[in-house]
Structure 1
Amino acid sequence: MASPLDHLGGEEALRRLVNRFYDLVETDAQGAQIMRLHFRGHGLAHVREEQVNFLSGFLGGRRYYEEKHGTMDVRLMHNHVPIRAEDAEDWLALMDRALVDCGHSGPHVERIRAAFRRVAMILVNR
């Protein structure tokens, strides 16, 4: 059975999606707070790679993030970051734009969007 990652077009398509998302984070006003939050950690170059690693496993592909860090616990990963509902909504809006910009559509993308929304709202801690 094909995974959500397969439906996106595999790891290269995922890498393009993540890079488009972070290009938007870096250039769109809606990404300003996300940028500030990332600079509390390791910065965007680091997070681009780790996001690909995490989303690969999250979307049913190889679990690179877990292989490297021993966990896929998103709450643990973001525990040190003060995340407001507005931050989660900004993240979701920019990821939605990245999905559109990369030409992704259809029922599999709607399921991915719903999964992203569930996780983003779980991470709200402020």
Structure 2
Amino acid sequence: MTDAAPMSFYDEVGGHEVFERLVHLFYQGVATDPVLTPMYPADDMDGAERRLTMFLAQYWGGPNTYSQERGHPRLRMRHQAFHVNPDARDRWLGHMRDAMDELQLPPLHDATLWDYLQRAAHSLVNTFEPTPASTTPTSTTKEPS
């Protein structure tokens, strides 16, 4: 009998490289999206990629770098300054789905990660007001992660 700890989801899917690739592919889509792009400071897109990669890695059992550098994730608080309506949520999920499809994770891993991402995205909706006609950022902070 072995006392080895079970593998984390993070390790099962391939570790840091997989989350880094997922987030990079995701942000390629975000960079072309007129609703989402204004939520990300153009001069800190790399920082946004790094933060989301750290967050997802930590959430799924990887290094706790996110908490060491940024404290508790507080996702709702960190996203409150942004106009996250169902349209923004659906666009975010669309780009994430495209990125996940490129990864081609095994079906159970894909379903597990997708379930979490959908729940997280739905939880961050903070308004039902339509997307503003202007593409001006609703905040100047360097979020979301």
User: What is the identity percentage for the equivalent residue pairs of Structure 1 and Structure 2?
Assistant: 25
Query: Over residues 5-43 of structure 1, what are the superposed CA-to-partner deviations in whole Å (9 max), with x where a residue is unaligned?
Result: 22321001111111111112223xxx221111113x964
Larger relative contact order (Cα-Cα within 8 Å, sequence gap ≥ 6): 2
Q: CA RMSD in A?
A: 1.6
Map of 2:37 onto structure 1: 35
Take 1:3 and 1:109, find their aligned partners in 2: how far apart are those partners?
15
1:11 aligns with 2:16: yes
Q: How many Å apart are 1:124 and its aligned residue? A: 0.2
Equivalent residues of 1:25, 1:94 under 8 A apart = yes
TM-score (normalised: structure 1): 0.88
| Larger relative helix fraction | 1
Unaligned runs of 5+ in 2: 1-5, 128-145
Unaligned runs of 5+ in 1: none
Quick one: structure 1 residues 42 and 80, their matched pair in 2 at CA, closer, same or farther if it must change by over 3 Å? farther
Aligned residues: 122
TM-score (normalised: structure 2): 0.77
Quick one: structure 1 residues 3 and 42, their matched pair in 2 at CA, closer, same or farther if it must change by over 3 Å? farther
The 3-state SS of whatever aligns with 2:61 is coil
Take 1:105 and 1:50, find their aligned partners in 2: how far apart are those partners?
25
Map of 1:104 onto structure 2: 105
Choose 1 or 2 for highest CA Rg: 2
Equivalent residues of 1:20, 1:98 under 8 A apart = yes
* Structure 1 residue identity aligned to 2:75: V
Equivalent residues of 1:4, 1:112 under 8 A apart = no
